């Protein structure tokens, strides 16, 4: 089969291949680094950071569902300073792009974190305005265009030359409305989708399975929603998209790229198979080769709608 050029350019950040690992599903890479060389990936999106360390929500906070999981982890993390001091130097040993993912309680907190991370030299900042599992900030920013725009402007004005990618929530009526507001506010890229709000009930105890009652649904069950939303957003904005949601194999990544994504993140599938991201990369390369494409980026936006 002919060689495929797997490199892609996401808002000025060149990656050797389009495969990123999704925030919150890869920790800071240390555990997965025992399975494979992290330099095999295009990018690593680190676990969601907050200004100060967070314990997260009480357990149980993960539950299985048909073809997916529900989680209410609630942004457990050591805080942005500990990331910069202890985790970033570890990730920097690898030839891989490092994307920091941040969540704030106020627009000002997003600004402070961006300044610290830009100073520390991350390759990109992913602004999470869509976490369904935290009360403060969280989902509210991702469901209201004017708040999403305010957070985006604050992040951009404190991120220096580091590109800012805003992560969108699927828990909205019209995702394109938020996408446009964020693009107009200066975002360099968009990522989608975050988890879909869901709930499971134990019929023996009549209690919700998760201590927080509800959680975020991810995994293969959400792929068609992700493909639809990436397609809608790609038709509404000009900035590039990191697509994610339920990717488990090369074909899934190809669908997201055909829908309009420039790069693709693998998340929940890593829990079942730590090599999932590598397998997705290899599967995607084989699909591009089969189609006779010289560049994997030729897939982006190639869907032929009826
Ligand atoms: C356990 C868990 C923790 C997550 N933590 C974060 C987070 O900290 N920040 C964030 O933006 N997204 C977080 N996400 C969402 C994922 O990055 C991703 O958007 C979502 O799970 C859909 O992709 P997937 O189906 O491949 O997992 C988390 C998802 C899971 C399952």
CA of 126 to the centre of ligand 1 (A): 12
Give me the domains of the chain, ranges plus CATH numbers.
8-299 (3.20.20.70)
Residue 281 confidence (pLDDT): 98
Radius of gyration of the chain (CA): 18
* Among protein residues, the one whose CA lies closest to atom 18 of ligand 1: 194
23 lines ligand 1 (CB under 6 A): yes
CA of 72 to the centre of ligand 1 (A): 10
195 lines ligand 1 (CB under 6 A): yes
Residue 138 confidence (pLDDT): 57
Q: What is the mean pLDDT of each run of 10 residues along the chain (306 residues)?
A: 91 98 97 97 98 95 96 95 98 98 94 98 95 61 93 98 97 97 98 97 98 97 98 98 98 99 98 98 98 98 98
Kind of pairing between the strands at 62-65 and 68-71: antiparallel
Q: 125 and 159 in contact (C-beta within 8 Å)?
A: yes
CA of 1 to the centre of ligand 1 (A): 35
Residue 130 confidence (pLDDT): 81
Residue 157 confidence (pLDDT): 98
Task: Give percent helix, percent strand, percent coil of the chain, each to the nearest 5.
Answer: 35, 20, 45
Number of the ligand 1 atom closest to the C-alpha atom of 126:
11
Residue 114 is a catalytic residue: no
Neighbour tally for 26: CB within 10 Å: 25
Residue 66 confidence (pLDDT): 95
For 275-285, what is each residue's pLDDT tens digit?
Answer: 999 999 999 99
The one catalytic residue in 45, 114, 131, 290 is: 131
194 lines ligand 1 (CB under 6 A): yes
Q: Which of 259, 247, 264, 242 is nearest to 300 (CA)?
A: 259
């Amino acid at each position: 089969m002919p060689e495929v050029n797997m490199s892609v350019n996401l808002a000025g950040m060149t990656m050797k291949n389009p495969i990123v690992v999704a925030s919150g599903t890869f920790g800071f890479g240390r555990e997965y680094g025992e399975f494979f060389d992290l330099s095999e990936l295009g990018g690593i999106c680190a676990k969601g950071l907050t200004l100060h360390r967070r314990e997260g929500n009480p357990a149980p906070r993960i539950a299985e569902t048909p073809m997916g999981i529900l989680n209410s982890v609630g942004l457990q993390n050591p805080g942005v300073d500990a990331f910069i001091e202890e985790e970033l130097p570890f990730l920097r040993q690898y030839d891989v792009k490092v994307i920091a993912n941040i969540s704030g309680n106020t627009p000002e907190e997003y600004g402070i974190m961006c300044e610290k991370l830009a100073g520390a030299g991350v390759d990109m900042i992913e602004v999470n305005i869509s976490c369904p599992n935290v009360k403060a900030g969280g989902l509210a920013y991702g469901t209201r265009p004017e708040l999403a725009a305010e957070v985006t402007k604050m992040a951009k004005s404190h991120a220096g030359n580091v590109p800012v990618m805003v992560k969108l929530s699927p828990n909205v009526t019209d995702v394109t409305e938020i996408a446009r507001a964020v693009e107009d506010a200066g975002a360099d890229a968009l990522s989608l989708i975050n988890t879909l709000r869901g709930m499971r009930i134990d019929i023996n105890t009549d209690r919700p399975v998760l201590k927080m009652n509800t959680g975020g649904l991810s995994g293969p069950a959400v792929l068609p929603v992700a493909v639809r939303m990436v397609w809608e957003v790609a038709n509404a904005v000009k900035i590039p998209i990191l697509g994610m949601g339920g990717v488990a194999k090369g074909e899934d990544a190809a669908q997201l790229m055909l829908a309009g994504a420039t790069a693709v993140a693998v998340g929940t599938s890593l829990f079942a198979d730590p090599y999932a991201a590598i397998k997705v990369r290899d599967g995607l390369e084989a699909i591009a080769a089969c189609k006779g494409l010289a560049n994997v980026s030729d897939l982006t936006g190639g869907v032929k709608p009826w």
